[in-house]
Structure 1
């Protein structure tokens, strides 16, 4: 422990990420902008609000960010994500969700936070995760948000 008092240290926050699949088993990922992890790929999600369940948060954040109405189904895993260089610590709760309207596609509703949404297979995401050190080749623009890297390490299959 450093010489800082615990009152000076930032408190961990709770993030919730929605794993939304289509009929092909692909998941929605978006390229983050304007916050920590800018330029990396992540699932829809955000901060858990006071009194909100993680299921309700996954449903709310997905609707706010993509316009998709989803039903939260189950807790997949929880990751411990420390962004040392930023002094941020998150506990991220990953929730499997299903779309209530399978024909509806995601839209960028928060352009200051997300550049675009794409359907990506789980196998492709795993491949991105295995090549995070590639800074100039095929995977240079496929950096994953730290909680996504931890999700792939903990849950190789969804």
Structure 2
């Protein structure tokens, strides 16, 4: 298999001043806290991917999806390379539900200044780059 970077979309979902994170399992980054998201599908915009992934993973609808920064994420131990496009969204409706328990063990809302650790590499790189999480 050819080693090429993949495109991931990570969704920063805000609700009442908090950010949604999930505890990953059965995938690279297992045991780390990550934003909802996934692979950008062929023909899909990052905005469409953000809306789809949040619904698939949490059962919630989001609104006002807009582009954020990107990170260059090299998972050396797993031999994976991602360009992660961050989308910033607001919670719109729906109850938070664990819809993919084989991929994530829990979802929780956190204050941007009290994010749990360990953090998924793309989230670590976003924070390292200085993206301002505490506001919209």
The interval holding the TM-score normalised by the smaller chain is: over 0.9
Q: Distance in 1 between matches of 2:52 and 2:99?
A: 13
TM-score norm. by structure 2 comes to 0.92
In proportion to residue count, which structure has more helix? 1
Identify which of structures 1 and 2 has the higher relative contact order when contacts are C-alpha pairs closer than 8 Å and 6+ apart: 2
Are 1:17 and 1:45, in contact at CA under 8 Å, matched by a contact in 2?
yes
Deviations 1:111-131 (A, max 9, x none): 000000000011012xx4xxx
Aligned to 2:110, which of 97, 106, 120?
120
Quote the offset at 1:71 in angstroms.
1.9
In proportion to residue count, which structure has more strand? 2
Aligned to 1:87, which of 68, 79, 84?
79
Shift of the 58–155 alpha-carbon distance from structure 1 to 2, 3 Å rule, reads: farther
In the TM superposition, structure 1's runs of 4+ consecutive aligned residues that sit over 3 Å from their partners are none
RMSD value over aligned CA atoms?
Answer: 1.3
Q: Distance in 2 between matches of 1:31 and 1:74?
A: 24
Quote the offset at 1:73 in angstroms.
2.7
Q: Distance in 1 between matches of 2:56 and 2:118?
A: 24
Q: Map of 1:1-158 to 2, 5 A cutoff? A: 9-23=2-16, 25-101=17-93, 104-125=94-115, 128=116, 142-158=117-133
3-state DSSP of counterpart to 2:88: strand
* Number of equivalent positions: 133
Unpaired segments ≥5 residues, structure 2: none
TM-score norm. by structure 1 comes to 0.80
Q: Distance in 2 between matches of 1:106 and 1:35?
A: 21
